[in-house]
Amino acid sequence: MKTLVGLALLAGLALPAVAAGSASAAPPSGVPANVSPPTISGSPQVGQSLTANPGSWTGKKPITFTYVWRSCDASGLPCADIAGATGAGYTLASADAGRAIRVVVTARNRLGQTPATSAATAPVGGVPNPPPPPSGGLHVAGNELRDAANNRVFLHGVNYSGAEYACIQGWGIFDGPSDDTMISAMRSWNSNVVHLGLNEDCILGINGVPAAYAGNNYMNAIVAYVNKLHAHGLYAEVSLMWAAPGTQQAKGHPAILDQDHSADALRAIANAFKADPETMIGLQSEPHDISWACWRAGGSSCSVGYPALGMQAALDAVRGTGATNVVTASGIDWANNLTQWLTYRPSDSLNQLAAEAHVYSFNTCGTTSCFDSQMAPVAASVPLVFGEIGEGSDACGATFTSAAMNWMEAHGSGYMAWVWNTWGTCLSLIDDWAGTPRGVYGSWVKAHYLSLP
C-alpha cells in the first residue's frame, strides 16, 4: 500500500501542477528561461480543438518547443498526462468532459531545457447531444443495472475460464465444452450471467497463435458461445484478460494494458458485441502493481517497461466503435482495490460505466468491514459487481463466499463465482459438465443461487 501511494504521489509530481500558469525558476545563463507562462486558446468543449501558445522565453537561440497535454480534476489538480497528446494542438474527446486541461511546454536549446505549465482551462463541457444509452437490453441507471423494461437486474453467475489461455497454449479456444448442454447446466443453478476472459493475441491473431484458434476463428467461436448464453436467458461479460506488449506472447495478466495491441483488441471486442446490449465489456480483468494515475492515464504516468494504455484510452477505444454497451472497469491490486476508483474513473459520456472488484478470502480487502469502507462508497455511486468471487485455494468451504455474496446483495449489482471448470480444486464449482456441485463450496453456491429470484 505504501508503495502504491508513493507511486501515485510521484506520478502527481512528475510535472508542475499549480493553480495558475507557472514560469520556471531562473535557469543557468543561456538555458531557456520562461518569462510568461504558456497559454491555451480555444473553446473547452468536447469536439473542439485547443491550441497551445508557448509563452515568452529568453535564452540562446534557436529554441524549440515540445508539448504534453494534461487532464486534471475540475479544480485543476491533480493532473495526469493524456496518452499521445504531444502536439501544439489537442482535440477534446468525450473522456475530457468535466475535466480541466493544462499544457506543459518544454523549451530546448543546445544548453539545456526548461518546462513551464499553463493555467488550467475551465472544466470541459460535454457533447451537446450525446448518443442515447443502450435500448433493448442491460444498461446503467444511477448505481443500478437495469434490463430493457427498466427493471433492476442483480447478476448472479459464474466465470468460465479457458478462452484466455487455451488458444495461446495452442490446443483450443475453450477449456471444456461450449454447447447448449453445458449452458443448460449453468442455467439449472439459476445463474443469469457468465463471465469470459479473452486473450489479446488470440483476438488479433498475432504473436504465433495457431490460426485455428486466432483472429476470426477465435472471435466467431466467442460470439457463437455468447449467443447461446443469451438464448438460455443469460447475460455475458466479455473482458480483456491476458495481454502483452510487442512480440511478447500474452501468457498472463499484465500490470496494465499496452499501447501496442490492447486498443485494437478492445475495438475488436466492441465491434463484435456493439449490437448486443445483453453483453458487458470489461476493459481489463486485473490491473496490478500500478498507481491510480497510471490506471487512468497510462503513458508517462506508468513505469511498467512498455507504453501503457490507461483505462480512459481503453474506454475511448470501445466507445469509438459506436458501442453503447455497459463497460466495466476493474480496480487496481488485482482488481481488489477500489479506494480511489471514483476519483480516477474514466469519463464516459454515455454514463454506462460500472465498477468491478475481484474478491477472495486471501485478498487484502477480503472482509465485509473492508467492503464497507472501501467498496460501499463506489456502490453508492455506480453499479458495482464482483467479477470474480471465491474461497482461498486451500479453503474448500463457503464461509467467505457466503459473507461476500450477502454483502453484495445488500449493496451492489451482482457477482460471478469462480469457477465453472472441472479442475478438481477448491475453486472449482463443479465436478462434471452436467453441473454436479463440487464439495461444500459448489453445493452452497448452487443452493444459494436457487434461493434467488
Q: What is the domain extent for residue 20?
A: 14-117
The total of structural domains in the chain comes to 2
Q: Residues 26, 148: one domain? A: no
Same domain, residue pair 200 and 160: yes
Residue at 406 is within a domain: yes
Which residues contact residue 96 at a Cβ distance below 8 angstroms, ignoring those fewer than 6 apart?
A: 46, 71, 124, 347
Do 90 and 188 belong to one domain?
no
7 within domain boundaries: no
Residues 79, 167: one domain? Answer: no
Same domain, residue pair 97 and 236: no
Query: Quick one: 112 and 145 in the same domain?
Result: no
Is residue 132 included in any domain, yes or no? no
CB 397 within 8 A of CB 137: no
The answer as to whether 122 is a domain residue is no
In Å, what is the CA distance from 448 to each residue of 50, 190, 405, 414, 445? 55, 9, 9, 13, 5
What does each of the 453 residues of the chain score in pLDDT, given as a tens digit?
A: 333 333 333 333 344 434 456 555 566 788 999 999 999 998 898 878 888 999 999 999 999 999 999 999 888 889 999 987 888 888 888 778 889 999 999 999 999 999 999 999 998 887 555 455 555 799 999 999 999 999 999 999 999 999 999 999 999 999 999 999 999 999 999 999 999 999 999 999 999 999 999 999 999 999 999 999 999 999 999 999 999 999 999 999 999 999 999 999 999 999 999 999 999 999 999 999 999 999 999 999 999 999 999 999 999 999 999 999 999 999 999 999 999 999 999 999 899 999 999 999 999 999 999 999 999 999 999 999 999 999 986 778 999 999 999 999 999 899 999 999 999 999 999 999 999 999 999 999 999 999 999
| pLDDT given for residue 134 in this prediction | 54
| Residue 80 belongs to some domain of the structure | yes
Q: Is there a single domain that holds both residue 30 and residue 176?
A: no
Could you tell me the CATH number of the domain that includes residue 91? 2.60.40.2700
Same domain, 146 and 94: no
Dist. CA 274–CA 277, nearest whole Å: 7
Residues 442 and 383 in one domain: yes
In three-state secondary structure terms, 46 is: coil
Residue 130 counted as domain residue: no
Residue 284's nearest CA partner among 318, 235, 248, 249 is 318
Please tell me the predicted confidence (pLDDT) of residue 25.
58
Q: Let me know whether 90 and 224 are in one domain.
A: no
- The rounded Cα 216 to chain-centroid distance in angstroms is 24
Examine the domain organization and report whether 93 and 225 are in the same domain: no
**Domain end: 56, 87, 117, which one?**
117
Q: Are 176 and 264 in a shared domain?
A: yes
282 lies in some domain:
yes
Whether 133 is in a domain gets the answer no
At 5 the pLDDT is 35
